[in-house]
A and B are shown apart, each in its own frame.
Chain A
Amino acid sequence: MIEIRLHGRGGQGAVTASRIIATAAYEEGKYSQAIPMYGTERRGAPLTAFVRIDDVRVRERELVHNPEISIVLDPLIAKQQAVVNQLKPGGLVILNTAYPPEAVKIGGDFNVATVDATTIALETLGRPITNTAILGAFAKVTGLLKVESIEKAIKKFFPGRLGDMNIAAVKRSYDEVKGPIQAVVKEAPEQKVDIHVGGYGVLKDVSSWRVFTPEIDVDKCIGCKTCWIFCPETAIQWDEEKNKPWIRFEACKGCGLCANECPVNAIKMVRVEV
């Protein structure tokens, strides 16, 4: 049996990705299971999903605790050691990042492959929904499933033009994936971060939710406070002395509302560097 864990955020389609893999496996005559770790996920909040593939019917219904493969759909979560927690020795992690596998900082006894799924998604779908833009890489580096089976499965989930766009993302990801290579960093401390956030309430830091981040041009700013009034998360703080805004980045989810409302376009949203 092969066990896979997917890490993503609400809205990136990690759950759909898990179902596409399971469906593709079924297309190849295998048994499969896709389990979403549903709590009360919101758009942008970290979440996990799990896949099992086997030659016989999958009977366990517990979550996957020791995966062979970890697929990380989000470029910022991809930087966290927690995505390889309890990965089987010699396992594989597929990361969404613009960097080559040699530059990956997380470490241990596993192989690393990387693909810039966010760019692929933005260029093929126009939105940073990275689920299909990582599946081509998955097909290529694992060799578990044929890319044709993945495409067949995608057509079931996304009929018509949307399916074609997603298949284009798969193809690019298949071509552009780098690795796998043995992880460069050998020893890395296990991270005690709960990358799955369940339940409601206050979060510590949502910096990693952002795909785009606001940048304030203080010279352009006229001090009207519009951005400050409208920020749902009070991420925009007001410096009364200077009469200018500053951003509490740990509270900013990157919605872009401030940039959209600024009457003098003093805020622009820029792609987060990863």
Chain B
Amino acid sequence: MGELTITPGSACQGCGAALAARLAFKALGSNVIRHGIPCCPDSTTKTPRFSTVFEGGGAQLTGTSRGLKAIGREDVMAVGFYGDGGTYDIGFQGLSAAAERNENIMVITKDNEAYMNTGNQRSGATPKYARTSTNPVGPRSRGKPRPKKNIPFIFAAHYVPYVGTASVGFPEDLISKVNYMKTIKGFRMLIIQSPCPVGWRYDPAKTIEIARASVQSGIWPLYEIMDGKTFKLNYKPKELKPVTEYLTPQARFRHMTEEEVADIQETATASWENLLKADEMGRLII
């Protein structure tokens, strides 16, 4: 597989999303029209590129996919590479509708858990307690008060052919998921957790370390859901690492009390147990 990114790009040092783009497009190959909406500059790719309004991610993929069909070029893949703002929040409506129509498109989200392009404002993808520039910590605020939206499950509940999660800390899993998506048709979505040194406030050298700890502690489990029912957990350690391994290196969680850490631990453990059960059954009950 050749590199499909043109580097150096204008991403920050140690950018998780720049790596997510590099790995995903490397796996996708060159028969792709890449679609963008406002987001951080991750990596430029050797692909034709469409862009549109922030809220139009699902719609532009739909238009391209239908247009390609009209001109007899269904072999070309319409791929969206969007941020969490464009997926979880402002672009959610259009993506949900595209999923419901089961458009023949691929949506890949580099999830860095806040609006990083504008300076770390909270998004629907920001985890509970994380400090952002719009969830400062003070007498009335403990960071973000509510948990991250479970966007993969929300899209799985559209009964689409494929929804998967991935992490830049697990490149082989990421690449094999993209490869699988290439073999099927219909609405396919991959959410890639992409640590952001600037917004999460850690040393840029630790991007992979943190991405890995997130998966190993059950904060960001790697799984895939087919047709809204078939469920597979792709990474199953014998024992989860404590969530502190994930939380402690990040200054966005530095203010957290022991009780708050225990809250995150409890949630992570409970949801991990549910995922293990689903994995055992091989299906989700939605």
Q: Are A and B part of the same complex?
A: yes
Residues of chain A touching chain B, judged by Cβ–Cβ distance below 8 Å, are 10-11, 40, 42-45, 197, 199-203, 205-206, 209, 229-235, 250-257, 259-261, 269
Encode B37-52 as 1/0 by CB contact (under 8 A) with A: 0000101100000000
Known: A201-B10, A234-B7, A251-B8. 15 other contacts (CB 8 A): A11-B198, A42-B10, A43-B12, A43-B197, A230-B207, A231-B19, A232-B15, A232-B19, A233-B43, A250-B8, A252-B8, A255-B197, A257-B207, A257-B208, A260-B209
Q: Of B8, B14, B209, which one neighbours A205 at CB under 8 angstroms?
A: B8
CB–CB A254/B13 < 8 A: yes
> What are the residues of chain B within 8 A of A259 when measuring CB–CB?
205
Given A45-B10, A201-B44: A255 and B171 within 8 A (CB)?
no
* 21 interchain pairs, CB-CB under 8 A: A11-B198, A40-B10, A200-B10, A200-B41, A201-B9, A201-B44, A202-B6, A203-B10, A205-B8, A230-B19, A230-B208, A231-B19, A232-B11, A232-B43, A233-B9, A233-B43, A234-B22, A235-B8, A255-B205, A257-B206, A260-B206
CA distance A201 to B5 in the complex (A): 11
Instruction: Spell out B's residues near A (CB within 8 Å).
Output: 3, 5-16, 18-19, 22, 41, 43-44, 117, 168, 171, 197-198, 203-209
Across the interface, which residues of A come within 8 angstroms of B43, CB to CB?
232-233
Determine if A43 and B10 form an interchain contact, defined as CB atoms under 8 angstroms apart. Answer: no
Best-buried of A232, A233, A256 by chain B (most CB within 10 Å): A232
B22, B203, B209: the one contacting A232 at CB < 8 Å is B22
In the complex with contacts A254-B13, A256-B203, A260-B208, A202-B19 CB distance below 8 A: no
Alpha-carbon separation in the docked complex, A197 to B11 (Å): 12
Is A235 within 8 A of B7, CB to CB?
yes
A201 to B41 alpha-carbon distance, docked (Å): 7
> Who on chain B is nearest to A200 by CB?
B41
Minimum CB–CB distance for A201 against chain B, Å: 6
Cross-chain contact of B171 among A45, A205, A230, A257 (Cβ < 8 A): A230
Give Cα distance in the complex from A66 to B11, angstroms.
Answer: 31
Instruction: List 9 tightest A-B contacts by C-beta distance, closest first.
Output: A256-B205, A255-B14, A43-B12, A232-B18, A255-B13, A200-B41, A260-B205, A232-B19, A255-B204
Contacts of B22 in A (CB 8 A): 232, 234
**What is the CA–CA distance of A230 and B210 in the complex, to the nearest angstrom?**
13
Chain A residues near B9: list those with CB within 8 A: 201-203, 233
Q: Closest A residue to B198 by CB, please name it.
A: A43
Q: B8 to A206, Cβ gap below 8 A?
A: yes
A131: shortest Cβ distance to chain B, in Å?
A: 16
Expressed in whole angstroms, the Cα–Cα distance for A205 and B207 within the complex equals 22
Q: How far is the CB of B139 from chain A (nearest CB, A)?
A: 16
Provide the bound-state CA to CA distance between A10 and B171, in Å: 29
A42 nearest CB neighbor, chain B only: B12
Residues in A neighbouring B197, C-beta threshold 8 A: 43, 255
Contact partners of B18 in chain A: CB under 8 A: 232-233
Whole-angstrom distance between the alpha carbons of A256 and B197 in the complex?
Answer: 12
